[in-house]
Chains A and B, each alone.
Chain A
Amino acid sequence: MAVEPLIELRNVNKHYGSVHVLQDISLTVGRGEVVVVIGPSGSGKSTLCRTINRLEPVESGTILLDGQPLPQEGRALARLRTEVGMVFQSFNLFAHKTVLANVSLAQVKVRKRGKEEADKRSRELLERVGLLAHAEKYPAQLSGGQQQRVAIARALAMDPKALLFDEPTSALDPEMINEVLEVMRQLARDGMTMVVVTHEMGFARYAANRVVFMADGRIVEDRTPEEFFTAPESERAKDFLSKILKH
């Protein structure tokens, strides 16, 4: 595929104590591509996602964002993080701020937008995720699915080049999963570059450009969803799919 690479990982390694959680990972995500990372728990997929904006530092290897190597701690890293939005499994909304303030805060503090401009942008984004009516509520007053959509709006408010999703629907009640996935599908259609760690096979199958299957800290398969789901090559992937697609 001749797409311009936006996120590149080259030979990335990381240990937690004696566990080698990322083993020589190399992965390229092109601009506008949606890459879904799946795999059994403990396979390193969340860690992989978190290394891309350096919430987890790596021990060796390089990570490039838009051609630039990921900086060490400090201002340069903070600046780079604004370019990569992140959506967490547990939403992580700021509990003491209203929905609107959650979306506006970093625009004002980091992007140095005026309060009015930031709030205007926040309202546009809240409308886009269907939550404008809840702008003045606190996170605890919203359902999980609504909170996660606010979190997506908050990440989008920085106008990032890419979005990382770390199991965005794993903490949700089944009936709320779809409202979050629908927002994500819309983002994918709009051409947002996305790395999505998920267990939602439906999303992987129909919204992803590529599926990356991880097991035991390695990338085992990296193929189109069609190929991966109909004809997985590795035994590990076959085994995984047989377990999750049964029910």
Chain B
Amino acid sequence: MNVLTDNLSLYGKGLLGTVELTVYGSLLALALGFVMASFRVAPVGSLRVFGTAWVAVLRNTPLTLLFFAVLLGLPRFGVVLPFQLFAVLALGCYTSAFICEAIRSGINTVPTGQGEAARSLGMSFGQTLCGIVLPQAFRSVIPPIGSTLIALAKNSAIAGAFSVTELLGTYKTLNELGYSIIWSFVWIAVGYLIVTLTISALFNVLEKRWGVAR
């Protein structure tokens, strides 16, 4: 039981590492996912192909493999960044594929008639997408995006295997110090619950605020 009180700072650092990976990874995933979803519905063919390829490659690659590719592959091309940034890059790009598909399914829930009405009023593709389609798509994608970001928080554990400070990685140190493995993991699990339940709560608020007005 005293594994927590004795190692509060170690747990704290691990939790902070996980939170950082989650927040930065989420921001990157949301931004990229948004751009890719716009590409996938764009009237320009080459953008649609790019968006589709992005999703196909990233969604179908195991995340661990992607971590290897980023952390071991990019330095070979002279891209040397802190490991934490590499981890954010891998997590963000991977999750962006899922965000993209969630947003795209949201776009498909907006009746095409509203797009036609906007066009018949003389609005351009960009105006129709940003003013009419996406604000409504956004409402219906709040729950799936919440789930995707929770998955991202949990996936960040993989970064621990690549010497990035994060919550799961703390068990190695605790194990060496001779603490009960079960209690070490119990508190690690509690740490993840804090992160994921916070995300759930945040998305519940968003959904209450924005998700109903239809």
Contacts and interface: CB of A to CB of B under 8 A. Distances in A.
Interface of A: 53, 55, 73, 75, 78-82, 84-86, 88, 90, 92-96, 105-106, 109-110, 138, 140, 151, 154-155, 158
B113 A90 contact: yes
A53 B120 contact: yes
A84 B214 CA distance: 28
Most chain B CB within 10 A, of A53, A79, A88, A92, is at A92
Contacts of A96: 135-136, 139, 213-214
Contact of B118 (A75, A84, A106): A106
Nearest to A80: B122
Given A96-B139, A140-B214, A82 B113 contact: no
A105 B131 contact: yes
Nearest to A151: B117
Nearest to A86: B120
A79 B127 CA distance: 14
B167 to A, nearest CB: 39
Nearest to A98: B213
B125 to A, nearest CB: 9
Nearest to A84: B120
A93 B132 CA distance: 10
Nearest to B120: A86
A109 B131 contact: yes
Interface in B89-143: 111, 113-114, 116-124, 127, 131-132, 135-136, 139
Given A94-B114, A106-B121, 17 more contacts: A78-B122, A78-B124, A80-B122, A81-B120, A82-B121, A84-B120, A85-B121, A86-B120, A88-B113, A92-B111, A94-B117, A95-B136, A106-B123, A109-B127, A138-B214, A155-B120, A155-B121
Contacts of B136: 95-96
Contacts of B214: 95-96, 138, 140
B3 to A, nearest CB: 50
Contacts of B120: 53, 55, 81, 84-86, 155
Given A96-B139, A106-B122, A110-B123, A86 B131 contact: no
Contacts of B113: 88, 90, 92
B124 to A, nearest CB: 6
Contact of A78 (B116, B123, B131): B123
16 contacts: A53-B120, A55-B116, A55-B120, A75-B124, A78-B122, A78-B124, A80-B122, A84-B120, A85-B121, A86-B120, A92-B114, A92-B116, A95-B114, A96-B136, A106-B121, A154-B121
A78 B114 CA distance: 16
A88 B112 CA distance: 12
Contacts of A90: 111, 113
A151 B116 CA distance: 13
Nearest to B114: A92
A45 B43 CA distance: 28
Contact of A138 (B119, B132, B213): B213
Contacts of A85: 120-121
Contact of B117 (A73, A78, A84, A92): A92
A82 B118 contact: no
A93 B124 CA distance: 17
A195 B191 CA distance: 65
Nearest to A139: B214
A94 B131 CA distance: 10
B122 A82 contact: yes
Contacts of A154: 117, 121
Contact of A158 (B116, B121, B139, B213): B121
Contacts of A84: 120
